[in-house]
Amino acid sequence: MATNRLKEILDSKKMSFSELKKLLEEKDVKVNNSQLSLYSSGKRNPKNKKIWVIISEVLNVELQEIITDINAYLTIMAEISENSSEKNAQTEKEKINDSLYQELLSLVDESMPSELEKVQRYCGLAATFEKLGEDIIEEGAVVIVPSGDSVVKKTNPAIAEQVRVNAALIKLDEWFELKRQSNNGDNPKSGEDWSEFT
């Protein structure tokens, strides 16, 4: 980490690390005096770069006044922006998952635990399917596995697992489709055996 002006700014404000620590605690940031000392000397960098922004806020100075190295400043801002984007994506994902849950819930008889369980199972499988897809994108379709003194290329096992999860989703989809038809007045054939979906 490039050197910063934290100690200099604290000195100019006649503040100690202990006083800064208290201000940060009010913002739910847990650090100790030795960590702040290491940050100020440039010997250590906070894992969460947003701490620098919070430090600048509690000291009532611009972040650029503390982090004077432009590359270090840009790195901090890029990480904060990336974390914010991930959080927004996560929030959006939660909204989609909640919408799916609400849609499926509207199809079932909420007084029947077996039907509620299918909603929970479907949403759990859908989340697993999505996570496996993310892992496949991140690791690739082929992974390298150590084997003795050499390495072997193998198909990513997440692909087979995703196929298995997808088959379970398709099966549950059929059940929910029958519920949709039933709710729309298109009753499934009387006497139809639904046991295969339970």
Q: Report the CATH number that the domain containing residue 20 is assigned in CATH.
A: 1.10.260
Mean pLDDT value across residues 20-25: 93
Kindly indicate the confidence band of residue 16, based on its pLDDT and cuts at 50, 70 and 90.
very high
Residues 127 and 168 in one domain: yes
Helix (H, G, I), strand (E, B) or coil at 143: strand
Same domain? For 114 and 32 the reply is: no
Quick one: tokens of 71?
């590359």
Q: Is the pLDDT of residue 76 over 70?
A: yes
Has residue 187 got a pLDDT over 70?
Answer: no
Q: What domain range is 117 assigned to?
A: 106-197
* Entry pTM: 0.47
Does residue 93 fall inside a structural domain?
no
Stretch 145-153: mean pLDDT:
81
Distances (CA, A) of 135 to 56, 132, 180: 37, 5, 33
